[in-house]
Amino acid sequence: MNTALNAVRREADLDYLASDPDDIDLIVIGGGITGVGIALDATSRGLNTVLLERRDFGFGTSRWSSKLAHGGLRYLTKLEVGIAMHSAKERGLLMEHNAPHLIRALPQVALLASDTNLVQKVAMRLGFIAGDMLRIAAGTSSKILPRSRYANKQETLQMCPTALQDDLRGSWVNYDGQMVDDARIVAAVARTAAGEGARILNYTEVTHAEGTAVEFHDAIGGRDLRVRAKAVINATGVWAGTVDEDIRVRPSRGTHLVVDAATLGNPTGALTVPLPGSISRYVFLVPQQYGRVFIGLTDEDTPGPIPDVPDTPEEDIDFILEAINHGLGTKLQRSDVIGAFTGLRPLIDTGEGGSTADLSRRHSTIEASNGLISIVGGKYTEFRLMAEEAIDEVLKRKGMRAGSCRTTNLPYVGAPTHPGSLRVNGADLAGLPETMVQRYGYESPKVVAAAQAAIERPLDKVAGLDITRAEVAFAISHEGALNADDVLDRRTRIGLVQRDRDAAEQEVTEIVEQMLEYIKENQS
């Protein structure tokens, strides 16, 4: 089981495709979380699968989320019980079976203070009780996700030190799943699919797609290829309409701010503040890796051309700061914002108008007149279910045969039950940086071992940041990164803060160049 993605494997897979094979069952277009999830589901059922991504894995919306595996609580307020239940079930699978090393319980803290009115306080408590019922119905143990509870003032301030203290009596605390990073989940799923036999290729831009073939350009080697398959799935998210022009996507803009955790007293809980007058929309302050906090988020209609990397409007920054300051005793200023990021949600355009916040997060499978199948909409947390349903639909529509879905309990690379982790135990992790273990789980010893053969000082930190030189090397040798930007902006999240990016770029570039040469010499 070879889960390594790198330049040498990529070239070998392209050579295979150039040989005009006639045994490919499925081509997936798009290397975000939906695309890699579909590739994993398909290849684990025995389908010969190829994934093509025009940029890098996790380049688009999949790296701009809130980094939460939501349990679907907010959808109950819209009476979308099905989505809420599916989200809760999928969250439980991720935390218990698929990726327990990458997703952990996060306390969400709702203040009982002067920032909320009585109706909002009652609504939050009832909502948290409903969240407990969702967890129980989904079969997720309270050992994985604790029950919601009351926290007194002292504990509340321990979790959120700069929270508003006016009339503070305590807080309601609910628990949800927090990803160590959304782009890391994409990389883990892609590598797991590669280990099952899928050909996973980045920097391959599809220029034409139909139901049984695609044409694409290899941006690294310059080749143009046409590849045939029994079925083709368009999983390009917000760009779905560029592959099938009959599809209408209505992008919704979600913005987050980045603040130093020290500015907010290094919180351990996610402060959750309702928008004035609302009982269903909130802004939240979430502690993250690298000593940062993310604050978000917006939900704004964003018509027009779809950019590769969306800009963050100043009005979004002002909106978030004003909203979160309702729950803070120590108010944040514009100068406290050290970074920001904005993603576009791929919502299905129903033609009914209204706010994007009110649009359903349901996903749909659409077949074009030329046989191309597209999957559109949905939520990050539900990517496994979306993939299962997409493959079931493809098999039915195309008359194809395959095994049953295996992804419900299939562990991703780094999980304690993944085959690559069988010879790893707690003692093997003891001497490694805690944050490395949080990002790589039971693969952490492999991260160090792979780097030791190729670079010096593998456990030294890069530019004084909380990431080791070994992790940069591993991104090139095993995670499909091909350049410094892939490492800075997706395999790690150094690039979210420009000053950190500037400090690390030269060292990262040197390691990348050294690793690319090492792989070429030792694996060709």
Residue 285 is assigned to a structural domain of this protein: yes
What's 96's DSSP letter?
I
Task: Judge if 228 and 286 occupy the same domain.
Answer: no
Integer Cα distance of 163 and 270 in angstroms:
11
Task: Judge if 138 and 274 occupy the same domain.
Answer: yes
Residue 480 is assigned to a structural domain of this protein: yes
Quick one: CA dihedral 309, 310, 314, 320, positive or negative?
Answer: negative
Task: Judge if 170 and 35 occupy the same domain.
Answer: no
CATH of the domain at 478: 1.10.8
Q: Which amino acid is at 150?
A: Y
Residue 292 is assigned to a structural domain of this protein: yes
- Domain of residue 338 covers 105-180+249-348
Structural domain count, the chain:
3
Task: Judge if 212 and 333 occupy the same domain.
Answer: no
Integer Cα distance of 318 and 340 in angstroms:
12
CATH of the domain at 291: 3.30.9.10
Task: Judge if 209 and 170 occupy the same domain.
Answer: no
Burial class (CB in 10 A: 0-12, 13-18, 19+), 163: buried
Q: Which of 244, 231, 227, 216 is nearest to 374 (CA)?
A: 244
Task: Judge if 328 and 371 occupy the same domain.
Answer: no
Contact 199, 266 (CB under 8 A): no
Instruction: Output the tens digit of pLDDT for each of the chain's 524 residues.
Output: 799 999 999 999 999 999 999 999 999 999 999 999 999 999 999 999 999 999 999 999 999 999 999 877 766 666 667 788 899 999 999 999 999 999 999 999 999 987 667 777 777 778 788 888 889 988 999 999 999 999 999 999 999 999 999 889 999 999 999 999 999 999 999 999 999 999 999 999 999 999 999 999 999 999 999 999 999 999 999 999 999 988 888 889 999 999 999 999 999 999 999 888 766 688 999 999 999 999 998 988 888 889 999 999 999 999 999 999 999 999 999 999 999 999 998 887 655 444 434 344 467 888 999 999 999 988 899 999 999 999 999 999 999 999 999 999 999 999 999 988 755 555 578 889 999 999 999 999 999 999 998 999 999 999 999 999 999 999 999 999 999 999 999 999 999 999 999 999 999 999 999 999 999 998 76
Task: Judge if 165 and 188 occupy the same domain.
Answer: no
Task: Judge if 146 and 255 occupy the same domain.
Answer: yes
Integer Cα distance of 358 and 361 in angstroms:
9
End-to-end CA distance of the chain: 19
Integer Cα distance of 208 and 124 in angstroms:
49
CATH of the domain at 199: 3.50.50.60
Task: Judge if 169 and 269 occupy the same domain.
Answer: yes
Task: Judge if 163 and 293 occupy the same domain.
Answer: yes
Task: Judge if 339 and 474 occupy the same domain.
Answer: no
Residue 57 is assigned to a structural domain of this protein: yes
pTM exceeds cut of 0.85? yes
> What is the pLDDT at residue 246?
87
Residue 414 is assigned to a structural domain of this protein: no
Residue 417 is assigned to a structural domain of this protein: no
Task: Judge if 57 and 194 occupy the same domain.
Answer: yes
